Amino acid sequence: MVGSSHEALHRIFQKDPALLTRALQKVLHVPFPEPREIAALNVDLTEIEPVERRVDTLLRAETDEGTYLLVVESQGKADDRKRGSWPYYLSYLYEKYRCEPVLIVITQSSATAKWASRPIRLGFPGWDSLTVRPLVLGPENVPVIADARQAERDVPLAVLSAMTHGRGPRAPAILESLASALRTIDPDSAAVFVQFVDSCLADPQAKQMWRDLMTAIQYFWRHPLAEQVREEGREQGRAEAKAEMVLRVLEWRGIPVPDDVRERVGTCTDLDQLEIWAQRAVHATEATELFTAE
């Protein structure tokens, strides 16, 4: 079970290795060759000396143009120690496997993405002995997928979008679109993606909204995370939870909720009607628009 945002951000590529090469091609526009095969490798880079060094995720990609090692590092904040460890990782991996290593950094922070994208230059100024240029995936270049049809076309990329953009005013539309798209894939994969997103949502309101959305997906209850969600929601009915979600989305988006709207939503017990209102709440500009089509 994924227990942290750091872990989820890189382990999603272990779940779907092809997502990483698609991100390189579609997001970073790097002409990375199409892999014939991708395999996960041991992330332990410890040598005989008792100094432990581990990368977050390590994949081997076999392509028509050669074999590449994809080194994925999840980065929460700037860390100047990486000036030494990242060049070490790449040099060690090249020496061990004799394959070209490619460093990919993924982050939820725009500031961290800007820091990580700066080249690491070692040696005499103007005559570098070694230069490391990380490829960075973050909020500035990972696409915002807030449309259900777009999310259905590439569910793993939609998951990555939710993991990197799951905060702010656009989060409700992103999470709603992904929730819809998860219904179109096999239940076991969907359950794993649900946990990845849950682990990455640092905003308490976004996390609660995501869990509210997931209560409608029955196969979600197969996942270990479901027991935690079930325990939290056991004291209230599904209709009450859905009504609270509708009001929460409006409030989170900064839309005032009059008492009459709050009462009408709060006393509704029709789950289908509440689902319609929840979808409208994501796009409404004022609370009364929940009922405009009725």
Q: Give CB contacts under 8 A, 24+ apart, made by 52-57.
A: 53/85, 53/88, 53/89, 53/92, 55/89, 56/6, 56/10, 57/10, 57/11, 57/13, 57/14
In sequence order, what are the beta bridge partners of 105?
Answer: 73, 136
**What is residue 35's predicted lDDT score, i.e. its pLDDT?**
84
**What is residue 219's predicted lDDT score, i.e. its pLDDT?**
45
Q: Is 214 exposed, middle or buried (0-12, 13-18, 19+ CB in 10 A)?
A: buried
Note whether 274 and 246 are within 8 A (CB). yes
**What is residue 120's predicted lDDT score, i.e. its pLDDT?**
93
Map residue 15 onto helix, strand or coil. helix
Map residue 182 onto helix, strand or coil. helix
**What is residue 235's predicted lDDT score, i.e. its pLDDT?**
42
**What is residue 216's predicted lDDT score, i.e. its pLDDT?**
60
**What is residue 1's predicted lDDT score, i.e. its pLDDT?**
47
**What is residue 229's predicted lDDT score, i.e. its pLDDT?**
52
Write down the pTM of the prediction.
0.67
CA distance 96 to 71: 14
Query: Across 1-147, where does the E strand assignment appear?
Result: 35-40, 57-63, 66-74, 100-106, 120-124, 127-132, 135-137
* Antiparallel, parallel or unpaired: β 127-132 and 66-74: unpaired
pLDDT digits (tens, 9 = 90+) for 235-246: 456 777 778 888
Two tokens, residue 258: 């009059």
For the chain, which ranges sit under pLDDT 70?
Answer: 1-4, 7, 42-53, 216-237, 293-294
Phi, psi of 237 (to 5 degrees): -75, 165
CA distances from 212 to 238, 243, 275 (A): 9, 10, 11
